[in-house]
Amino acid sequence: MAAQETDLLRSRPLCTVEIQLEDDAPVALGRSPWRNRRVSYIAGGVIDGERLRGEVLPGGGDWSELGAGPDGAAVTLIDVRSIWKTHDGGLIYVTYGGRLVIPPAALADFRDLAKVEQLPADSYYFRIQPTFETGDDRYAWLNAVVAVGVGRRTARGVRYRIAALD
């Protein structure tokens, strides 16, 4: 049976976000009986796009959990909470979960800040699903958006290209 056009996902670019992490990130809490948690704190960032632009405020973070895939890949469950401030003063609470999967062949270069930005985009998998919450009427439309993003590690943090699903 052929998919109906209405069954297909369509998206519109929302923004690109460049997040800088604090220099001592991540803080490895170690393996507990329940999980292997690491915490990275946000130092700030820049939001750029036709529909959304501004800055990521310092103080949020990622309370990620590390695991391993059956093929030896490093698997991270992402759990980020942050506050974004738009170019015109709107405040938006942004949370997102996601997955970062790094195959063994890419792991050394992914951890090397001098090499990480040269890694091919298809050498690891980094996807997020942001959720937006705001009381600012100018950005109330974000409260109803389902969004997805593709991540890339940078020498100072992460970069996401985020799209809103139609």
Which residue is associated with the tokens 């389902």? Answer: 146
pLDDT tens-digit readout, 33-65: 888 899 999 999 999 999 999 999 999 999 999
Phi, psi of 156 (to 5 degrees): -110, -5
- Total number of domains constituting the chain: 1
pTM, rounded to two decimals: 0.91
Residue partners of 40: CB distance under 8 A and separation at least 6: 21, 22, 25, 26, 27, 61, 62, 64
Name the average pLDDT for the chain. 93
What is the CATH classification number for the domain harbouring 34?
2.40.160.20
54 within some domain = yes
Q: Which domain holds residue 147?
A: 10-165
